[in-house]
A = this chain, B = another copy of it.
Amino acid sequence: MTEQKNREIRLVRRPEGLPRPADFELVETPVPAPGPGQILVRNIYMSVDPYMRGRMMDRKSYVPPFQIGETLSGGAVGQVVEANGHPAFRKGDYVSNMEGWREWFVSKGAMMQKIDPEAAPIQAYLGTFGMPGLTAYAGLLRVAKLKEGDRVFVSAASGAVGSIVCQIAKNKGCTVVGSAGSDDKCDWLRTQARVDEAINYKTCGDLTAAVRKTMPEGIDVYFENVGGAHLEAALANMRPFGRIAVCGLIEQYNATALPAGPRNFVSIIGLRLTVTGFIVSDHFDMQQDFLRDMAAWKKDGKLTWHETVVDGIEHAPEAFIGLFKGANFGKMLVKIGPDSAV
């Protein structure tokens, strides 16, 4: 153990536009020793998420910005290697935590939950059974007020959130069309996620026309992850009293100038649309219902997912950058430690 080094990723400078590997640095530090009442955790998987791009900007937002020279943070799952008299955690426990972008850390256990490796693979607690899954669940059921029979359009439909949105909507008796950026992703959406239609937005030509063709009766609920042409295509195809849940606008997260807004925003009046932005942390009260429903759907064979796993913390910046290029198919994860450390 004393020979073991910790590695972690720090922000060297604030990215301009699409982040580059040189915006990050890998630093070696000693593995810290847990003080009394602390636990030592070795992370196994860490998450990279689009929202982290916002934290790399120096601006007021719902989460404070990352600081230059400091280690990044984010969702991770790991295992307790030492529990120095901690009342709640024991050696061997698997835990989800917000101490990603580093291999080892000590903690008093705040913001950490034990996870059950029998219920789902531990990395699923960073995806389908974790924050992205709850984002899909809350966004669809509470924010967009999904009803049985709704016609649902989902952008970034093969992503960590979108792929779960598609399946929850199908499980709730809806018609679902998803858009994704490759034929492979579209095939998976049709055959595995059970969507009614999938649109490859890179090859379909005019997206508004493609949506109209696949959803001739229009859209009741649009789950927005992308922005830009997707938002305009959705607005052009919404049904009266339609609802748009705005989860993300990944297309513009690296914009260096103010991006264009939806030119057909005026549709909101005549169609009496409701457009609602949301962030998952306002909906943690749904966690129990979420886990119960997800477990039931999984048991019934009505929930599947795809992961893209990059190996080694040294490749975490590339994995993160890949999110903005569609390099992920489902949840993007970085494997940063052995399956078991004890």
What residues of chain A have their CB less than 8 Å away from a CB belonging to chain B? 54, 61-62, 227, 231, 240, 246-249, 252, 258-279, 282
A262 contacts B259, C-beta separation under 8 Å: no
Given the contacts A275-B274, A275-B275, A275-B276, A246 and B269 also touching, CB distance less than 8 Å: yes
A269 contacts B247, C-beta separation under 8 Å: yes
Chain B minimum-CB-distance residue to A51 = B269
Q: Can you report 22 residue pairs joining A to B where beta carbons are below 8 Å apart?
A: A62-B270, A227-B265, A231-B265, A248-B269, A249-B266, A259-B263, A259-B266, A260-B261, A260-B263, A261-B261, A261-B262, A268-B275, A268-B276, A269-B279, A270-B279, A271-B277, A272-B277, A272-B282, A273-B276, A274-B274, A274-B276, A275-B275
Contacts of A61 in B (CB 8 A): 270
A268 contacts B258, C-beta separation under 8 Å: no
Given the contacts A270-B277, A277-B270, A258 and B249 also touching, CB distance less than 8 Å: no
Chain B minimum-CB-distance residue to A265 = B261
Contacts of A266 in B (CB 8 A): 227, 249, 252, 259
Docked pose: A279 CA to B62 CA in angstroms: 32
Docked pose: A261 CA to B231 CA in angstroms: 11
Contact of A263 among B258, B272, B276, B278 (CB under 8 A): B258
Contacts of A54 in B (CB 8 A): 270
| Ranked 7 nearest A-B pairs via Cβ | A261-B261, A268-B277, A258-B263, A269-B277, A261-B262, A275-B275, A261-B265
Docked pose: A5 CA to B260 CA in angstroms: 53
A227, A258, A264, A267: residue with the most chain B Cβ atoms closer than 10 Å? A258
Contacts of A247 in B (CB 8 A): 269
- Minimum C-beta distance from A131 to chain B (A): 15
Contacts of A252 in B (CB 8 A): 266
Given contacts A62-B240, A227-B265, A274-B274, 15 further A-B contacts (CB under 8 A): A54-B270, A62-B270, A246-B268, A246-B269, A248-B269, A249-B266, A260-B261, A260-B263, A261-B264, A269-B277, A271-B277, A272-B277, A272-B278, A273-B276, A275-B276
- Minimum C-beta distance from A111 to chain B (A): 21
Contacts of A264 in B (CB 8 A): 258, 261
Contacts of A248 in B (CB 8 A): 269
- Minimum C-beta distance from A256 to chain B (A): 13
Given the contacts A249-B266, A266-B249, A272 and B279 also touching, CB distance less than 8 Å: yes
Docked pose: A252 CA to B265 CA in angstroms: 11
- Minimum C-beta distance from A208 to chain B (A): 12
A262, A265, A275, A279: residue with the most chain B Cβ atoms closer than 10 Å? A265
- Minimum C-beta distance from A237 to chain B (A): 12
- Minimum C-beta distance from A55 to chain B (A): 11
A248, A267, A273: residue with the most chain B Cβ atoms closer than 10 Å? A273
Chain B minimum-CB-distance residue to A62 = B270
